[in-house]
Amino acid sequence: MNSIFSDAQKRLVEVFRHTALTDDVQEKLKHPKLSMCVSIPVRMDDGSLKIFTGYRVQFDDTRGPTKGGIRYHPNVSLDEVTSLSFWMTIKCAVMNLPFGGAKGGVIVNPKKLSRLELERLSRGYIRAIADIIGPKRDIPAPDVYTNATIMGWMADEYAQIKRQQLPGVITGKPVHLNGSFGRESATGRGALHVLQEWIDLKKCHAEDLSIAIQGFGNAGYYFAKLAHEAGFRIVAVADSQGAIYSREGLDPTKLMQHKQEHKELGTMLYCDGSVCDLQHYHKLSGSELLELDVDVLVLAALENQIDKHNADNIKAGQILEIANGPVTSAADEILAKNGIPVLPDVLANAGGVTVSYFEWVQNRAGYYWPEEKVNARLKKCITREATAIFSLADEKKISLRTAAYLQGVNRIAGAISQQGTREYFLNT
């Protein structure tokens, strides 16, 4: 089986061609600082005891305490979590946040747990990693199949362990438990800002563009909702159960209402306008959605969705990565050859960590901002970095991904170099 981390590292090879970095920097970016594997005992509702395996990886803390989400998924592995922590390191530097990168995960299908079992698991995970996290050391957040409620449990468990209130240890918490306004929609909102900056650069208009979205979780839904409100036409949506298509367009809010009621999208009925016409949407397979002829293909599910086997079948005008690592390095080369630009994950999905940073700042200051201020600051931060990356890509004639990595790696390199490198100690 191919290593996700090894593939992630391949992106650095191209970056190193465009910047002069010391051996110290290159060596440090090859290895995580800390990797932890834990066993989490959980008393199930039927009285049995089950042991779950969890991970926490802190990749690099040169620029500040590490930051990164916690995912619950049956396919979580140390290799995956290490890759995600590496991407978080790059992402925080891309956004110029005072953080390094980390990630965590538990091997579990959360849909098969009761809510009480889910709470026991979440609190057990925090007990297992409590010694290596903290507001000034490592700050977890939500990720795949974790949410604000779970973050609230985790923050409360940490407070009980430390015998003090330390809300800055976890971000993505519920608003009434010291969370931040705007955090829930931040990843999708940030991705939309990146897309809008890109189409403005290309002199395109939202109402002329069709979008297909793979992944209808938190990030995918909020992106779809906000894009729909901005005038984009959402023609296809997929979740883990299936995909639907309508050339005329879909209303994401109504889709989510139906999904929450029926737990799937496959039999969706649509109603719009003052007079409602019910109609069945066209059903698609996951691979068919990826290969639709649309203006924008949004990848908001999991990693490695487009690889060397299906990259040549992609017909979208451009790809927006909201998930982490949805396009492999081999697929990048094929897409580039076919003239399909990729708006990379380390920029496009950075809205979540940016507003998590805002939440951390608010927690530490004890002063909370209104949602309008959070959203305005997110837009300012992400458009600033997107503009810089687009300009860098054009100036150096490199891909958007390489430009984003180059921006982040140069900031990390600056921090590492200022601690002293071989050249400094040999006075060369």
Catalytic residue set? 103
Strands 34-43 and 66-73: unpaired
Distance CA 37, CA 53 (A): 7
Q: Are 35 and 104 in contact (CB under 8 A)?
A: no
Distance CA 419, CA 374 (A): 33
Distance CA 327, CA 344 (A): 9
Q: CB under 8 Å to 224, separation ≥6 — which residues?
A: 188, 211, 213, 216, 234, 237, 250, 252, 255, 298
> Most distant CA pair in the chain: distance in Å?
78
The three-point CA angle 321-92-85 to 5° equals 75
Q: Are 122 and 148 in contact (CB under 8 A)?
A: no
61: number of CA atoms within 13 Å, CB side?
Answer: 16
Distance CA 104, CA 55 (A): 5
Distance CA 335, CA 333 (A): 6
Comparing CA positions, the residue from 34, 39, 60 lying closest to residue 49 is 39
